Structure formats: structure tokens, C-alpha cells
Amino acid sequence: MKRIVIFASGSGSNAENIITYFQNKGNAEVVQVLTNNPQATVLDRCKRLKVSAFSFNRTAFYTKDHVLSHTQQLNPDLIVLAGFLWKIPENFVHAFPNKIINIHPALLPKYGGKGMYGQHVHEAVVNNKETETGITIHFVNERYDEGNIIFQVSCEVNPYDSAEDVASKIHELEMIHFPNVIESILTSNG
């Protein structure tokens, strides 16, 4: 059974979708969800879905090795950032080469980098009158949103779409594709 560890900061709709996908499939499991936000809704989802959860603070993540050694003990085959908003520290990236992936709600390299998350991305896409946007799933390196791209899929942005309309199109793409991409990475890693 492959072991998935998820990092999430907020609502956790992607985390829930990944958890239930693999609960139904049975070839992998989400062994724990880690969050930097003790108020995050993702924690309620974990309780309901009976998945272990763990919260941590900035010191444990950036100045001590607590979160790193905790994660190493979980022995993950894949670490999935699903709406996780803190930058992954270098020691983490080096400890898990090609084992950390992130989902970004735009077609990177467009609309990536610090401060570009969630609704901010969709507002920028609408303000710039883009005609398409999409999702990117990529490996995580030391720089925000710059690791090698694994998967992208696009959707149309119509002239009358609001940022909320774009958000719901992106949400739909994330729900459809993210678990499948995770599954194919786990399968191709043997």
C-alpha cells in the first residue's frame, strides 16, 4: 500500500477528494494530513473521514527539524501539497527528492510566485482579460511554483466570467484530475 502525506492550509476540498478517492481504490492511503493552521477546515474533514491530522507552527517548520523528522517517520511515498500556503524549506526538498508535488490553480509559469494563491490568482486572471486558465501539478523545488511540471490542463475564461466563476471551473478541474495524477506518479515510481 502506497503512503501519501498531504499538507494543507485551508478548506481542504482537494485533501478530501484525494482521501476518498484512495479510500475507494485501496491501492494507496493518505496516512496523515499536516497543517500549519490549527483552525483550518481541513481538520474537520479529517475528523469526519477518520484520517489522522497534525498541526505545526512556524518554528517547528522553519527553525527546527520537528516537522521534517515527523514526516520522515511517516515514510511517505509521496507528499502532496493541496492548498498549502507556506514555502517548503530547503532541507525538506532535499530530504524528499521528486517526492513532493503541488497543485497550482493557474497555467504556470503564469500567475505563480509568492502571494499568488487561491482567489488572488483568479482575480489576476480576470483583471488581465485572459481567455484561458487552468491547473498545474508540479514537483516542488526551493522556489515557489518553479519545479518541473508534471501535468497541465486548461479551461476557457469568458469575457463575462467573474473570479468566482473562474474559481469554480478550476475547482472542477482539480477534483477530476488531481487524484489521477497522484495515482499515476505512485504507479510509475514502482
Round to whole Å and give the CA distance between 77 and 189. 9
Q: Tell me: does residue 134 bind ligand GAR (CB under 6 A).
A: no
Alpha carbon of residue 11 to chain centroid: 12
Q: Tell me: does residue 122 bind ligand GAR (CB under 6 A).
A: no
Q: Tell me: does residue 82 bind ligand GAR (CB under 6 A).
A: yes
Strand ranges in 86-178 using DSSP code E only, listed in sequence order? 100-104, 132-139, 149-156
3-state secondary structure at position 173:
helix
3-state secondary structure at position 33:
strand
Round to whole Å and give the CA distance between 45 and 25. 19
Q: Tell me: does residue 147 bind ligand GAR (CB under 6 A).
A: no
Strand pairing report for 149-156 and 132-139: antiparallel
Q: Tell me: does residue 14 bind ligand GAR (CB under 6 A).
A: yes
C-beta of 28 vs 135, nearer to ligand GAR: 135
Q: Tell me: does residue 32 bind ligand GAR (CB under 6 A).
A: no
Which member of 5, 51, 88, 103 binds ligand GAR (CB under 6 A)?
103
Q: Judged by CB under 6 A, how many residues of this single chain contact ligand GAR?
A: 17
Give every CB contact of residue 37 below 8 A, 6+ residues apart in sequence: 9, 10, 55
Other beta carbons within 10 angstroms of residue 54's beta carbon come to 16
Instruction: Determine the interface stretch with ligand GAR among 27-35, 59-67, 115-123, 154-162 (rule: CB under 6 A).
Output: 115-123
Active site residue 122: no
Question: Choosing from 104, 120, 122, 177, which is the catalytic residue?
Answer: 104
Closest CB 95 distance from ligand GAR, rounded Å: 21
Closest CB 157 distance from ligand GAR, rounded Å: 15
Q: Which residues bind ligand GAR (CB under 6 A)?
A: 8, 10-15, 82-83, 103-105, 117-118, 121, 170, 174
